[in-house]
Amino acid sequence: MSTDRVIHKAAALAAATVAMGGLVLGTAGPAAAYDNDGRIESGEFGFYYNSDEKGCVFDVYVYDNNFADNSFKDPSSINCAGEGQSTNDNTASYWNRWTGYCYVWTDSYRGGIRGSLPGGYTGNASATFKNQISSTADTV
């Protein structure tokens, strides 16, 4: 095989490798499992610091196994109640803007008592879950 042909094949292989790497990177899912910008958008599950969907928000996309490293955000810059407070064991109400069920647990990593909320549900946490939620997921 000539040197030019070997170089051509090596260049083609390198180009294919780069293209595949770009394809893999382009199809990868989101880097984080949550958005947490304080705005509950379609496809997210939102946790409110206070009852009746009041106060600051923690918004999750898909799941979060441990609320201890998250905090409530103020989407409107009006200094809402709970801003900067840990999300762990501080949720009083929620809104499921995902189409399917969202599951919550009273302990991190899907431990403790499990609850389920259907798509579109909004309301106050029950006595079992109020200020007790520590993790969430969209599948069991």
Q: Tell me: the pLDDT tens digits for 39-70?
A: 899 999 999 999 999 999 999 987 899 999 99
What is the count of structural domains for the chain?
A: 2
Considering only residues 79 and 112, tell me which one the structure prediction assigns the higher pLDDT.
112
State the Cα–Cα distance between residues 14 and 49, nearest whole angstrom: 52
Do 133 and 70 lie in a common domain?
Answer: yes
pLDDT of residue 19: 40
Domain of 5?
1-31
CB 99 within 8 A of CB 107: no
Per-residue pLDDT averaged across 80-103, rounded?
94
| N residues, the chain | 140
Instruction: Give the span between the Cα atoms of 105 and 136, in whole angstroms.
Output: 6
| 37 inside domain | no
What single-letter amino acid sits at 55? G
Give the pLDDT score at 126: 97
Indicate the pTM of the whole model. 0.73
**Cα–Cα dist 35/52, whole Å:** 22
Q: What is the pLDDT of residue 15?
A: 42
Residues 23 and 52 in one domain: no
Looking at the fold, whether 78 and 133 belong to one and the same domain comes out as: yes
Answer for the pair 87, 56: CB distance below 8 angstroms, yes or no: no
pLDDT above 70: percentage of residues in the chain: 75
Whether residues 65 and 104 share a domain: the answer is yes
Q: What is the pLDDT of residue 34?
A: 52
Q: How far apart are CA 91 and CA 12, in angstroms?
A: 55
| Rounded Cα–Cα distance for residues 48 and 15 (Å) | 49
Alpha-carbon gap, residue 138 to 126, rounded angstroms: 19
Q: Looking at residues 28-33, what average pLDDT do you find?
A: 40
Closest CA to 59 of 106, 96, 108: 96
